[in-house]
A = this chain, B = another copy of it.
Amino acid sequence: MSDEQELGITESKQYNTGEWYAEVVQKAELANYGPEGMSGFIVTRPRAYALWERVQNFLDSKFKQTGVQNAYFPVFIPEQYLEREKDVVEGFDPEVAWVTHAGREELEERLAVRPTSESIIAPYMAQWIRSHRDLPLRVNQWTSVVRWEATETKPFFRTKEFLWQEGHTAHATHEDAWEETMTRLDQYASMYEDLLAMPVLRGAKPEHDKFPGADTTTTVEALMPDGKSVQAGTSHHLGTSFAEAFDITYTDEDEGSQVAHTTSWGLSWRALGALIMTHSDDQGLVLPPTVAPEQVVVVPIWQADTREKVLDYAESVVDELEADGVRVELDDRDERNPGFKFNEWELKGVPVRFEIGPNEVDDEVVTVVHRPDGESKEVAREDIAETVREEFDEVYAKLYAAAEENLEGNVREADSRADILGTIGQHGGYVKAPWCGDEDCEAEIKDQIAAEIVMVPLNDEAAEIHDGEECAVCGEDAAETAYFAKSY
């Protein structure tokens, strides 16, 4: 196999989205599949982990600015703890990995590898909280969790182990807990919009699809180019259910005993899956400059007699960018020609390429090429560190605009069962329809085309229900507007 074949993406994003995605993930060196005997697991390579670190830094900084402290709870949870909140164990039981032996001994009680940590964090919160002065209490941890899902693996989207953060908070009132729930949802939306160049919708999950035990599960949803929605982060108002199960109470200002109101919120490396899927193309990975491991690659183009002057000039550009904090790579490999290098860095998703040959040196310019669309221009060598940031902003804006166009063009309305089925079948995307609130009406759609209600919008005037509106499926009185879509 030649290097060119090894490098190139052979599948089509439009026609074979699944195969194309798997190929981009592997060839852009983002992840490998897990070892034999561990299907469903992946190995996260440095180029993907660097993306995750940028997601972490963005969120961690926002969390800390808004009163969250990091902590670390054990990787295992005793079975009896999981059972104390029955809704939870019913929710996760079929997906739990169990440790039964340690060394050569069998354990007296088997231990769950955490699928989520409410049931081990809540009892400690109960110990730490005594008075209203201890509230709000907010802890977060960055860990991996294990959920033994039987479905096919899709790196970052669906794996048996995944990296995430889980935040857990306790508050004096229902309203405080609701404010917390929305603060975290807004921070998730901001991460997508301001870091990953992806617009998202905010909504609530329908009653029957909430986190086990939650009052309300809120979600940010991102629309992929293939018309499927991704649940891209969830924030749960848990009401008093966990507090009651685990005795999280506090003494109020009048010395009375009160039950606390809790929340939990999590965002996983599924964000990376959505990022890759949204922007990338048939040449490979496309990344916004905000998160790209290398923001600029400089490719010098020389003949034997111009090598020295081109390389000197390229190095001076690289030095200036590096000194200014730009993540820049000089590709001065002798054994590769410029075309090969262009392809390789396009595959790896470097958002801006500088081409520097003898002409650029003579004219004191740099040729700048944008990864997403190949737009090319000459810019002055002078002030290059300032100019390059304008290029980054332009690239970011292009990526965001394309994703926004996809989202805005793919929210459609329907007022009958046939209309929902037909519209999703033909276009994908979201279909807004009045809904009675009954799970059976969702089931009718699900059974036919595997689309479900991904959310009920929050604060969307256009989605308000008016007197006399009827459920698009059953014709009974409508209670809310549901967004139907196929989803990852």
Residues of A at the B interface (CB closer than 8 Å) are: 32, 34-38, 41-46, 49-50, 52-53, 69-76, 78, 80-81, 93-104, 108-111, 113, 120, 123-124, 127, 139, 143-144, 146, 148, 161, 163
Contacts and interface: CB of A to CB of B under 8 A. Distances in A.
A109 B74 contact: no
5 contacts: A36-B80, A37-B109, A43-B124, A46-B139, A113-B113
Nearest to A102: B148
Contacts of A101: 97-98, 100, 110
A129 to B, nearest CB: 13
A72 B44 contact: yes
Nearest to A145: B75
Given A32-B127, A36-B80, A52-B72, 15 more contacts: A32-B124, A34-B74, A36-B78, A37-B80, A37-B111, A41-B76, A42-B74, A43-B74, A46-B70, A49-B72, A50-B69, A53-B70, A75-B146, A95-B103, A99-B113
Given A37-B78, A73-B43, A76-B38, A103 B148 contact: yes
A204 B40 CA distance: 40
A480 B163 CA distance: 47
B102 A99 contact: no
Contact of A50 (B44, B70, B143): B70
Contacts of A120: 35
- Copies of this chain present: 2
A341 B53 CA distance: 38
A2 to B, nearest CB: 14
Contacts of A35: 74, 78, 81, 120, 123
Nearest to A109: B37
A119 to B, nearest CB: 10
Closest 7 CB pairs of A and B: A46-B69, A102-B148, A44-B72, A37-B78, A98-B101, A94-B103, A41-B74
A96 B100 CA distance: 11
Contact of A96 (B45, B102, B113): B102
A111 B38 contact: yes
A358 B50 CA distance: 52
A100 B100 contact: yes
Contacts of A148: 102-103
B44 A71 contact: yes
Contacts of A80: 36-37
B144 A75 contact: yes
Contacts of A53: 70
A104 B113 contact: no
Contacts of A143: 144
Given A46-B70, A139-B46, A93 B103 contact: yes
